[in-house]
Amino acid sequence: MHTNTANERVRIFCPATIANVSCGFDVLGVALAGVGDHMLISRSTKKGIRITKITGQDLPLDPHENVAGVAALALLDHLNSNAGFEIEIYKKIKAGSGIGSSAASSAGAVWGINYLLGSPLSPQQLIPFAMEGERLASGVAHADNVAPALLGGFTLVRSSNPLDVVCLPSPSELYATVIHPQIEIKTADSRRILKTNISLTDGIKQWGNLGALVAGLFKEDYPLIGRSLEDVIVEPVRSILIPGFDLIKKAALDAGALGCGISGSGPSVFAFSKGAEKAKEVATAIQAAYTPLDIPFELHLSKINPQGVCLEKA
């Protein structure tokens, strides 16, 4: 434990994340380097949590109704702390985008407060408190976004109860291209349409892909990563909610992407590529394919973020 007595405030970057990563529904996630929110967390003489400013999104300031507030309060309760904090949130990740908007706020809040309290907990130990923010957002306290947001890189949630999160390596040349169609799909809604039972045949295919994807990350075997980015369970159902999904996927693969899938619960769609140049070609191809649909969209191109939530560079 170290003491940050000199620090009364901290500015942090809270990364966007891709959850599920095709075959890893509810267990696999990865942090992005080029996209994320910013937060300013300050000590206060008043006990508890106050959210004093939010820009970029219309979200509640009430800490009991905001994911950052709920996560922060859960942490203070666990630490039995009488400390007080004020939080400013500068949202760059749109709510309902499928790239971890609620996770960025939840993870950032607990990371920043923990830092100002002298880091009594490790980033791994912060995950359960960030998960409380996710419970508010989607009705399920899942870790597949908050784990990579706090730990960086790829993470695998081996078990939720008890929580057991494994950090995986991130191949150095792996890039993500993400398209975010400007429609909102609520996580709770997209969970509701999923089947609760799957066939043994689909299960065998899925865990074969997940095991091979993890192996591909360890071996930096890009073709194996590409072959493993196949989701036979969730994508066929959720892709129906995303206009132009098949167009995006075909354009990305035709342009040489390793693989392509739904980011989180959608509507964002990600493609992985080997190298920045290929990721740019994939972005150009996706843009050309999607523009005729007349649906506004954003495109992000990002390396994998190896560290997760971090101090803002001055």
Catalytic amino acids?
134, 187
Torsion of CA 139, 15, 172, 142, to 10 degrees: -10
- Count Cβ atoms within 10 A of the Cβ of residue 100 and give its class: 0-12 exposed, 13-18 middle, 19 or more buried: buried
Q: If you compute the radius of gyration of the chain from its CA atoms, what whole number of angstroms results?
A: 19
Q: What angle do CA 240, 245, 248 make, to 5 degrees?
A: 175
Helix or strand holding residue 134 (H, E): helix 123-138
Secondary structure (DSSP) of 216-273: HHHHT-HHHHHHH---SSSHHHHGGGSTTHHHHHHHHHHTT-SEEEE-TTSS-EEEEE
Cis peptide bond N-terminal to 162, omega within 30? yes
**Residue 259 to residues 156, 213, 227: CA-CA distances in angstroms?**
19, 11, 7
